Amino acid sequence: MMSFEMSTAVNEIREHAETRLRELEPYLAEAEKLKQVIAMLSEPAAQSRPVTTLNADRRAPQGANKRRILALVLERPGITAAEISRMTGLKRTVVASTVSRLKRTGELEDHGDGASVPAARIALTRAQIAA
């Protein structure tokens, strides 16, 4: 009888631990993203990156808008295209189409009303921004 009670208690503890872990997993993932953002922003290159200059035809160099958008999404998961547009000065249509394309290619994912970088791509994204 003692082993049945012990086995029941162990099962209850295990079930409670599994339930709590499922509840906490989104927070753990968010904490990991925040650590990576802090590390990226602490790098000297992130603080001294020059402002994008336009080509003669008034277009940003290839990939410049994408890098600016990815940097903001890394810094602020869930940011919307409208917010990115306001913060960068890029046209909202340019931001929206770029974000849409990045979601299709898996470089971004839905996050509330906005977007975030998938956890598995954060390191790669940081490297793209630094390039």
pLDDT digits (tens, 9 = 90+) for 68-102: 999 999 999 999 999 999 888 889 999 999 999 99
At residue 50, does pLDDT exceed 60?
A: no
User: What are phi and psi for residue 9, nearest 5 degrees?
Assistant: -65, -45
Query: Whole-angstrom Cα distance, residue 89 to residue 60?
Result: 12
* Residue 107 near residue 70, CB atoms below 8 Å: yes
pLDDT at 103: 94
Cα separation, 85 vs 83, in Å, equals: 5
The rounded mean pLDDT for the chain is 82
Assign 56 a pLDDT band (cuts: 50, 70, 90).
low
Helix (H, G, I), strand (E, B) or coil at 64: helix
Torsion of CA 56, 58, 60, 65, to 10 degrees: 180
**For the chain, which domains are there?**
31-130 (1.10.10.10)
User: What are 77's two structure tokens?
Assistant: 């998961």
92, 39, 107, 86: CA torsion to nearest 10: 0
